[in-house]
Amino acid sequence: MIPYGRQSIDEDDIAAVVDVLRGDWLTQGPAIERFEGAVAEHTGARHAVAFSSGTAALHGAAWAAGLGPGDTVVTSPLTFMASANCARYVGARPALVDIDPSTWNLDLARVPAGTDAVVAVHYAGLPVDLANPGWSERPRVVIEDAAHALGAMNPDGPVGNCAHSDMCCFSFHPVKPVTSGEGGMVTTNDDDLAERLRSFRSHCMVRQPDRGAWVYEISDVGYNYRMTDLQAALGASQMTKLDLFIARRNEIADRYREMLADLPVGLPPAAPEGFRHGYHLFPITVADRRRVFGELRAADIGVQVHYVPIHHHPLSSDTGIQPGDLPSCDALYERLISLPCFPGLTAAHQEAVVRALESATQ
Ligand SMILES: *Cc1c(COP(=O)(O)O)cnc(C)c1O
């Protein structure tokens, strides 16, 4: 089966992890600082704070921003549930607005005035244009869910520089742009937010050296959301290949666009002038998706659907939004299917995918 996504691990990655095993720190140690430093350097953000997963990073961001009961947090309906759950984790109310059919990202112009926070998901790796949001009023808190978009670029710099947001969250799950096995990170330019994020991932313990070397104080409910040094060593090693990975994903996407030009399929929105797409996914649209999905799977092509929209899950009854209420997202979902797209996908694999698609759409 050719999977829709897969990690690319080389001997340097393996050596970096083995080195940690021979050293003194297994959990949060010097490799965490290296990985955080590499992500801060790549994005240009002042701070990068590692977490045990992208989901934990989103939880940390929602908490650090002070979101809680009574707050409304708008996100995209076309995402993984974690983007909405970060609101629920802190007792805030998740809300949804429809996608923009020209980008497949949430339509920021639809974010209602009075919204407390927005979680902007860069779907498939195409950055949401936060410099030109078109909203009537900027929410108090702007968090980017950049799980798909490490290595993608806005006209004013890399995704994660937080030029137009308070915090930006990444995931290092194996299918994401770079991996640490499991892992996440939050970037921010705000010193207070960075301190809150660091405290939250480690039980909100605050050392009190003036009162004794052993004294620490806990005033909030924190978690153990620490990343291990084993994971961070892998992540730091992977960061040295990020630009190659993204270039390779863009090559694969360009080739799909050529190869699929004459097939009865819809192509994903391309990056506008000045943007660089991350191509975490290469989602296309097809008529009769159920049949095409089945035929591709039968041909050993590991297609997937990203995503069952947020408002189609029973959990989202708390948003008051039902299937059919967000027409652009609902119409897209009916036809959506993700083709394999990852740095190690060979030309022969890609031809096999296109052949199978050709026969399934005839
Ligand atoms: C993968 C993903 C997450 C969650 O990241 P994990 O590291 O798996 O916890 C959140 N949001 C989006 C859009 C994702 O794709």
Domain ranges, ordered by start, for the chain: 2-239, 242-360
pLDDT score of 362: 86
**Two tokens, residue 242:** 């990020």
Class of residue 278 by CB neighbours under 10 A (exposed 0-12, middle 13-18, buried 19+) = buried
Report the separation in Å between the CA atom of 171 and the middle of ligand 1, taken as the mean of its atom positions: 6
| Greatest extent of the chain over all pairs of C-alpha atoms, in Å | 75
Catalytic site includes residue 176: yes
pLDDT score of 109: 97
* Ligand 1 lined by 79 (C-beta under 6 Å): yes
Mark out the alpha helices in 44-81 (DSSP H runs). Answer: 54-64
Report the separation in Å between the CA atom of 83 and the middle of ligand 1, taken as the mean of its atom positions: 8
Residue (of 79, 87, 50, 354) closest to 200 by Cα position: 50
pLDDT in tens, the chain (362 residues): 999 999 999 999 999 999 999 999 999 999 999 999 999 999 999 999 999 999 999 999 999 999 999 999 999 999 999 999 999 999 999 999 999 999 999 999 999 999 999 999 999 999 999 999 999 999 999 999 999 999 999 999 999 999 999 999 999 999 999 999 999 999 999 999 999 999 999 999 999 999 999 999 999 999 999 999 999 999 999 999 999 999 999 999 999 999 999 999 999 999 999 999 999 999 999 999 999 999 999 999 999 999 999 999 999 999 999 999 999 999 999 999 999 999 999 999 999 999 999 999 98
CATH entry, 242-360, from 3.90.700.10, 3.30.70.360, 3.30.200.20, 3.90.1150.10: 3.90.1150.10
* Ligand 1 lined by 126 (C-beta under 6 Å): no
CATH fold of 2-239, please? Aspartate Aminotransferase; domain 2 (3.40.640)
* Ligand 1 lined by 54 (C-beta under 6 Å): yes
Residue (of 33, 121, 141) closest to 76 by Cα position: 121
Which helix (H) or strand (E) covers residue 32, if one does? helix 30-43
Atom of ligand 1 nearest to the CA of 53: 7
Top mutation candidate among 7, 51, 55 for ligand 1, by most atoms within 8 Å of CB: 55
Atom of ligand 1 nearest to the CA of 172: 7
- CA dist 142 and 38 (Å) reads 23
Report the separation in Å between the CA atom of 143 and the middle of ligand 1, taken as the mean of its atom positions: 14
Residue (of 343, 273, 280, 328) closest to 306 by Cα position: 280
Q: Which entry of 47, 176, 226, 249 is annotated as an active-site residue?
A: 176
- CA dist 128 and 118 (Å) reads 12
Own/partner long-range contacts of 40-43 (Cβ < 8 Å, ≥24 apart): 40/187, 42/150, 42/151, 42/158, 42/160, 42/239, 42/242, 43/157, 43/158, 43/159, 43/160, 43/161, 43/162, 43/168, 43/187
